[in-house]
Amino acid sequence: MEQFAKNTIFKSLLKYAPIALLFISVLNEFDFNYLELKYFSFNFPFILIFYWSLKKSESLGYGLIFIAGLINDVVVGFPMGISSLSYLLICGFTAYLRNITLRPNMLQDWLFFLLTIVFASSLSYSLLVLFFSFKLNYADLLVNLLFTFLFYGIFAYLFQIYNKLAFEKKDD
């Protein structure tokens, strides 16, 4: 009985891991920028939100994603609402992809991810430049998008393993 209770608590903790990781990554900007590698940066929240809202939408609540976006804006110093908007747009794109997909395919997801981040980033950075007079380095932005796109493959593979371990039921 005790073992059963422990398992249940552990399982429910595993369920909240994606949202916990999202909050840690926006508070901590998990992107290896401290390595000071020239032109290297990527947007981990984009990968995380896209994968989990596509594969297991109930693991990330839209309300919590909205709050994570507000926190990201505060940490990075952007006007409030801009990251929330891009995160929610990613959720919208994944919900659309889920609706039209009968047979999930990794390559198709990956290409759709590129389309999604290009759209979400273009919109948010256009708003920043046009309405909030921010100066941005477009080369950095493009490289950031490229690395985010490339890293999706690696993280999607890791998340897939986690998804299998944490969420799929075992037949006893």
Partner 1 sequence: MEASRDDFVIAIRSAFLKKGNKQRFSLIFLIIFSIIFLALGKLNFKAIDYIKISINEIVYRSAFIASLPENYIQKGYNTAINHFNIYNDYNKIKSENQKLKSEKISNNFIVHENKRLKKIVDDYVTISDVVVAKVLIDKKSPFLRSIIINKGSKDNVKLGMAVIDGIYLAGKVVEVNFTTARILLLSDLNSKIPVTIEPVGLQSILSGTGKNDGKIQYLKEEYKIENESSVYTSGSGGIFKAGIPIGKIKNIPGVEIGVDFFSDFTQLKFVKIVSFQKEEN
CA-wise closest residue to 22 among 58, 72, 57, 56: 72
Torsion of CA 118, 121, 122, 125, to 10 degrees: -160
For partner 1 (CB under 8 A), the number of binding residues is: 51
CA-wise closest residue to 57 among 30, 18, 25: 18
How far apart are the two ends of the chain, measured CA to CA in Å?
Answer: 17
| Contact between 75 and partner 1 per CB under 8 A | yes
| Contact between 78 and partner 1 per CB under 8 A | yes
Residue of 9, 118, 126, 131 interacting with partner 1 (CB under 8 A) = 131
Residue of 9, 13, 17, 74 interacting with partner 1 (CB under 8 A) = 74
- C-alpha 147/C-alpha 152 separation (Å) is 8
Name the segment binding partner 1 (CB under 8 A); options: 2-10, 35-43, 111-119, 152-160: 35-43
Residue of 2, 3, 5, 58 interacting with partner 1 (CB under 8 A) = 58
> Which positions from 89 through 108 interact with partner 1, judged by CB under 8 A?
89, 91-93, 95-96, 98-100
How many CB atoms are located within 10 Å of the residue 109 CB? 20
Query: Which DSSP symbol is given to 61?
Result: -
Beta carbon of residue 12, minimum distance to partner 1 (angstroms, whole number): 14
Distance of CA 91 to the CA centre of its chain: 9
Q: Which residues bind partner 1 (CB under 8 A)?
A: 24, 27-30, 33-36, 41, 57-58, 61-63, 65-66, 69-71, 74-82, 84-85, 88-89, 91-93, 95-96, 98-100, 127, 131-132, 134-137, 140-141, 144
